[in-house]
Chain A
Amino acid sequence: MLSYYVQTALRSLRRTPILTAVLIGAIALGICISTTFIALRHVFERDPLPGKSQSLFYVRLDNWDAARAYVAEDPKSLPPQITYKDMRALMRSTIPVRQTGTFVSRMFVFPQSAKVRPFREPIRLVFSDFFPMFDIPFQYGSGWDKAADAKPEQLIVIDAAMNQKLFGGGNSVGKTVRIADRNFKVGGVISPDWRPSYRYYDVVQGPVPAESIFMPFNLTPVMQIQTSGNSDGWKDYGNTPEDFLNSEQTWIQFWVQLPDGAKVQAYRDYAANYVQDEKKHGRFQRPLHVEINSMPELLEAFGFVPKTVKVMSLVSLLFLVVCSLNLVGLLLGKFLARVPEVSVRRALGASKVQVFWQHVVECEVIGIIGGALGMLLSVAMLSVIAKVLQQGNGNSVTGVSLDLEMVAVSIFLSLVAGLMAGVYPAWRICSVPPAMQLKLQ
Chain B
Amino acid sequence: MLEMKHLKKIYRTESIETHALEDFSLIVGGGEVVSVTGPSGSGKTTFLNVADLLDTFESGTYLLNGMDVSRLSDREMSQIRNRTIGFVFQSFNLIPDLSVFDNVDVPLRYRGLPAAERKRRIEGALEQVGLSARTRHLPSQLSGGQQQRVAIARVLAGEPKLILADEPTGNLDSVMTREIMDLLERINDSGTTIVMVTHSPECAERAHRQLHVFDGRIVDVERPRVTLAGTGGSGFAATLN
Q: Which residues of A contact B (CB under 8 A)?
A: 1, 4, 11, 15, 340-341, 344-354, 433-435, 438-439, 441
Interface size class of B (residues with CB under 8 A): 20 to 34
Please state if A352 and B109 are interface contacts (CB–CB under 8 Å). Answer: no
Given A341-B95, A344-B95, A438-B93, decide whether A349 and B110 contact each other with a Cβ distance below 8 A.
Answer: yes
With beta carbons under 8 angstroms apart, the residue of A4, A11, A349 that contacts B107 is: A349
Stretch with Cβ within 8 A of A (4 or more), from B26-34, B80-88, B214-222, B229-237: B80-88
Judged by DSSP, the binding face of A is helix
Looking at A344, A345, A346, A352, which has the most chain B CB atoms within 10 Å of its CB?
A344
Please state if B49 and A438 are interface contacts (CB–CB under 8 Å). Answer: yes
Complex CA gap A354/B93 in Å reads 19
Besides A4-B109, A344-B89, A348-B110, 18 more A-B contacts (Cβ < 8 Å) are A11-B97, A341-B95, A346-B54, A346-B78, A347-B81, A347-B87, A348-B81, A348-B154, A349-B78, A349-B79, A349-B111, A351-B74, A351-B78, A352-B74, A433-B54, A433-B55, A435-B54, A441-B93
Given A348-B106, A349-B107, decide whether A441 and B91 contact each other with a Cβ distance below 8 A.
Answer: yes
Whether B75 sits at the interface, judged by CB under 8 Å, is: yes
Complex CA gap A199/B55 in Å reads 69
Looking at B87, B97, B106, which has the most chain A CB atoms within 10 Å of its CB?
B106
User: Could you tell me which residues of chain B, from 82 to 126, have a CB within 8 Å of some CB in chain A?
Assistant: 82-83, 87, 89, 91, 93, 95, 97-98, 106-107, 109-112
Looking at A346, A347, A352, A354, which has the most chain B CB atoms within 10 Å of its CB?
A347
Please state if B45 and A439 are interface contacts (CB–CB under 8 Å). Answer: yes
* CB closest residue in chain A, given B93: A344
Complex CA gap A15/B138 in Å reads 14
Please state if A350 and B74 are interface contacts (CB–CB under 8 Å). Answer: no
Please state if A354 and B110 are interface contacts (CB–CB under 8 Å). Answer: yes
Instruction: Tell me the smallest distance from the CB of A235 to a CB of chain B, in Å.
Output: 81
Instruction: Tell me the smallest distance from the CB of B25 to a CB of chain A, in Å.
Output: 21
* CB closest residue in chain A, given B78: A351
Q: Could you list some 27 contacts between A and B, CB below 8 A?
A: A1-B109, A1-B112, A4-B109, A340-B93, A344-B89, A344-B106, A345-B110, A346-B54, A347-B81, A347-B87, A347-B89, A348-B81, A348-B87, A348-B106, A348-B110, A349-B82, A350-B82, A350-B110, A351-B75, A351-B79, A353-B75, A433-B54, A434-B54, A435-B54, A435-B55, A438-B49, A439-B49
